[in-house]
Every structure is written in structure tokens, then in C-alpha cells.
Amino acid sequence: MVMNSEGRIAISRAGNDRGRHYLIIGEEGGFAKIADGMRHKLAQPGRKNIRHLSITKTVVKGWEKLVQGEPVSSNLKLAGLLKQMTR
């Protein structure tokens, strides 16, 4: 497990969403709170076992502003950012 993984990009290694990119916005008890702006919105993040994620070294600059920002525009920005990273 990576300490202080908040704000980092993670790739799902297991489950129906295998290969999907997420932003980690929090951690609690072995689970990560994840968002991708489409399926898992910033206001209602998903939960995923931290062992099922491959956490990258990439940190999203200003991710706190995304979480606290306007829900619709923040989700669109996050979805666009993650889409760029998968290219």
C-alpha cells in the first residue's frame, strides 16, 4: 500500500472495471475512495479495495480544487483528464 495516495491516479487491476483509470480522493480502512467523473462522481465516490488498484506515481495538481469545486464542471474536467492519460 502506498502511503498518502490521495490525489494520485490509480488503475483498477481486478473487477468489472479492470484497466480503468481513477483519481484517489481518500482512504479508509484498506479501501480507497475513487472517482472518474463518469461512473463514480466526485460527490459520490466509489469504494475499491486498495489491493485491487495499481497506484501510479502521477499526482494530479490541484485535485483538492476538483473535489471542492462545482460538481458538474469538476466531473467533466476529471473525466477529460483521465481520458487524456489513457491515450
| Average pLDDT value for residue range 74-78 | 92
What is the tens place of the pLDDT at every residue in 44-67?
999 999 999 999 999 998 899 888
What structural domains and CATH numbers belong to the chain?
8-86 (2.30.30)
SS3 content of the chain, % helix, strand, coil (to 5): 30, 35, 40
Reported as a pLDDT band with limits 50, 70 and 90, residue 2 is low
What does the pLDDT look like over 10-52, one tens digit per residue?
999 999 999 999 999 999 999 999 999 999 999 999 999 999 9
